[in-house]
């Protein structure tokens, strides 16, 4: 017996193409029909382009998010007996914040279920970084994850394929149709997965600037507001911090070197910008979880966060004391003159690290865990001629030429008193319904 479909994909495409509004039943049908293969990629490609060009209303975005959420399973942490709080970053260059943040928040009695992903292009993936640690494994069963949250309070692992499978199909399509930057599609993609993960509180780290997914702060603010509204509508306490990605975060860009830098932060040291953002996000996550009046910074200096880190790494098969991979080849770039480093653009350094092997061009590509870039100076620092500015690391020396092409012109040394181009404060503002 032939199934009679409730709607026709072409009619819905016409509606969106002509700047009309799709109803909740229409969106529910569209996502379901696409997930089961009735609506083809070519039709959904036309729809995503219509959304990219004409946008969606808040009601449409909410319906799209909930339809993608309904396409798969939904986790629950209700039986843990402790508040759950999570963080999501829109990605950037040198963004290793999840690594020190998860154990830091877990110190204070919250459960932190960080279901993370892998990198693609110039933005690094948390799982790729952690897989630099010998023995560490990303894939856990739901039972293993719940046990670790109960006993230790934190976990970083791969999200199961059962969470919002419609998003997996749609994301892959957006990637090849020039519609990745559509705010309704970004927001519904992120939030359908985060709501499906079952956390009761969520803090969004929404980047802006040269190394960010969205360069313009106004568009980043729009994305933040859209996602906060989606979270609140779904009963998840949600807020966002708009953070600066004009300059790489910290000094390490890659995988193993970012793990080393994260461990420095957990040991009470590390770059000031990484520490500042880690503490700010931890305080926000704890506040949304109802945990206040705690000294977050103290847990970095007294060893409590490091103890949690070591426990989490061991629980997932890793050896926190093992040596991390080191690249076979390095190339050091020296300052050509004395003065002040006044510019250091994030995106070219991210692309450079990617070309060295730290990232992947396709999802199935492997990464070289030892590849990357280590910066030796940040904007505002005084440098002298011949001083190392940054070091490129790779297993294959033939990668250096293309990486150097990527970073050419991405930094500049000026005179004392010349304005430093760093795009302003690290944390620009908070966006929240509360």
Instruction: For residue 80, report the phi and psi dihedrals to the nearest 5 degrees.
Output: -70, -30
Q: Is there a single domain that holds both residue 370 and residue 409?
A: yes
Task: Give the tens place of pLDDT for each residue, 380-389.
Answer: 999 999 999 9
Answer whether residue 69 is part of any domain.
Answer: no
Which residues does residue 429 pair with via DSSP β-bridges, in sequence order?
A: 242
> Tell me, what CATH number does 228's domain have?
3.40.1030.10
Answer whether residue 60 is part of any domain.
Answer: no
pLDDT at 217 over 70: yes
> Tell me, what CATH number does 353's domain have?
3.90.1170.30
With cut-offs at 50, 70 and 90, classify the pLDDT of residue 125: confident
Distance CA 221, CA 24 (A): 26
Q: Is there a single domain that holds both residue 45 and residue 124?
A: no
pLDDT at 120: 58
Answer whether residue 47 is part of any domain.
Answer: yes
Q: Is there a single domain that holds both residue 84 and residue 173?
A: yes
Mean residue pLDDT of the chain comes to 92
pLDDT at 117: 73
Q: Is there a single domain that holds both residue 39 and residue 105?
A: no
Task: Give the tens place of pLDDT for each residue, 82-123.
Answer: 999 999 999 889 999 999 999 999 999 999 998 887 665 566
pLDDT at 137 over 70: yes
pLDDT at 124: 67
pLDDT at 161 over 80: no
Q: Is there a single domain that holds both residue 17 and residue 35?
A: yes
pLDDT at 116: 80
With cut-offs at 50, 70 and 90, classify the pLDDT of residue 1: low
pLDDT at 374 over 70: yes
Tokens at 427, concatenated: 């944390």
Query: Token pair 């040596």 is at which residue?
Result: 323
Question: Residue 229 in contact with residue 193, Cβ under 8 Å?
Answer: no
Question: Residue 140 in contact with residue 106, Cβ under 8 Å?
Answer: no
Task: Give the tens place of pLDDT for each residue, 226-237.
Answer: 999 999 999 999
Segment 282-289 shows an average pLDDT of 97
Return the closest-CA partner of residue 220 out of 427, 433, 434: 427
Answer whether residue 66 is part of any domain.
Answer: no
Q: Is there a single domain that holds both residue 382 and residue 234?
A: no
pLDDT at 133: 96
Q: Which residues are marked as active site? A: 88, 167, 174, 189, 193
Segment 192-208 shows an average pLDDT of 93
pLDDT at 2 over 70: no
Number of domains in the chain: 3
pLDDT at 301 over 90: yes
pLDDT at 78: 82
> Tell me, what CATH number does 45's domain have?
1.20.970.10
Question: Residue 257 in contact with residue 393, Cβ under 8 Å?
Answer: yes
Task: Give the tens place of pLDDT for each residue, 405-429.
Answer: 999 999 999 999 899 988 789 999 9
pLDDT at 404: 98
Answer whether residue 252 is part of any domain.
Answer: yes
What are the C-alpha distances in Å from 74 to residues 160, 166, 197? 11, 13, 6
Answer whether residue 82 is part of any domain.
Answer: yes
Q: Is there a single domain that holds both residue 187 and residue 146?
A: yes
Task: Give the tens place of pLDDT for each residue, 173-193.
Answer: 887 788 888 999 999 999 998
Distance CA 376, CA 391 (A): 8
Q: Is there a single domain that holds both residue 208 and residue 188?
A: yes
Q: Is there a single domain that holds both residue 308 and residue 287?
A: yes
Name which residue leads in pLDDT, 161 or 8: 8
Task: Give the tens place of pLDDT for each residue, 309-325.
Answer: 999 999 999 999 999 99
Task: Give the tens place of pLDDT for each residue, 390-409.
Answer: 999 999 999 999 999 999 99
Name which residue leads in pLDDT, 283 or 91: 283
Containing domain of residue 317, as a range?
78-321+427-432
β-pairing, 237-244 vs 252-254, is unpaired
Question: Residue 320 in contact with residue 388, Cβ under 8 Å?
Answer: no
Q: Is there a single domain that holds both residue 141 and residue 286?
A: yes
Answer whether residue 151 is part of any domain.
Answer: yes
Answer whether residue 157 is part of any domain.
Answer: yes
Task: Give the tens place of pLDDT for each residue, 144-160.
Answer: 999 999 999 999 988 77
Q: Is there a single domain that holds both residue 315 and residue 389?
A: no
Q: Is there a single domain that holds both residue 265 and residue 161?
A: yes
């Amino acid at each position: 017996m032939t199934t009679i479909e409730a709607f026709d994909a072409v009619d819905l495409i016409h509606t969106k193409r002509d700047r009309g509004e799709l109803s909740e039943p229409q969106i529910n049908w569209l996502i379901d029909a696409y997930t089961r293969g009735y609506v083809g990629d070519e039709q959904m490609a036309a729809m995503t382009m219509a959304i990219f060009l004409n946008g969606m209303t808040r009601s449409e975005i909410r319906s799209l998010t909930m339809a993608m959420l309904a396409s798969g399973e939904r986790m629950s942490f209700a039986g843990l007996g402790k508040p759950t709080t999570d963080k999501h970053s829109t990605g950037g260059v040198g963004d290793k914040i999840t690594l020190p943040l998860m154990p830091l928040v877990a110190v204070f009695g919250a459960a932190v279920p960080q279901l993370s992903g892998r990198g693609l292009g110039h933005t690094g993936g948390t799982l790729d970084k952690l897989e630099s640690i010998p023995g560490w494994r990303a894939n856990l069963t739901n039972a293993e994850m719940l046990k670790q949250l109960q006993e230790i309070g934190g976990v970083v692992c791969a999200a199961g394929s059962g969470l919002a499978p419609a998003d997996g199909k749609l994301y892959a399509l957006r990637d090849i149709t020039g519609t990745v930057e559509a705010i309704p599609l970004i927001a519904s993609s992120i939030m359908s997965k985060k709501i499906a993960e079952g956390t009761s509180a969520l803090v969004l780290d929404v980047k802006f600037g040269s190394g960010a997914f969205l360069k313009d702060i106004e568009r980043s603010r729009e994305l933040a507001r859209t996602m906060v509204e989606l979270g609140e509508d779904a009963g998840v306490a949600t807020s966002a911090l708009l953070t600066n990605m004009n300059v790489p975060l910290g000094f390490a860009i890659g995988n193993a070197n970012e793990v080393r830098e994260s461990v420095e932060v957990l040991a009470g040291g590390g770059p000031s910008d990484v520490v500042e953002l880690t503490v700010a996000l931890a305080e926000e996550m704890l506040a949304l979880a109802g945990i206040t009046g705690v000294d977050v910074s103290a847990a970095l200096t007294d060893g409590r966060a490091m103890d949690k880190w070591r426990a989490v790494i061991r629980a997932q098969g890793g050896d926190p004391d093992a040596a991390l991979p080191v690249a076979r080849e390095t190339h050091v770039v020296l300052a050509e003159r004395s003065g002040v480093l006044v510019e250091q653009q994030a995106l070219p350094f991210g692309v450079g690290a990617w070309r060295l092997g730290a990232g992947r061009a396709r999802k199935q590509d492997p990464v070289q865990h030892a590849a990357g870039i280590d910066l030796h100076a940040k904007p505002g620092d005084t440098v002298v001629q011949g001083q190392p500015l940054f070091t490129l690391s790779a297993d294959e020396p033939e990668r250096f030429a293309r990486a150097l092409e990527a970073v050419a012109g991405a930094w500049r040394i000026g005179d004392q008193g010349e304005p430093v181009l760093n795009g302003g404060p690290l944390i620009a503002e908070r966006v929240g319904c509360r």
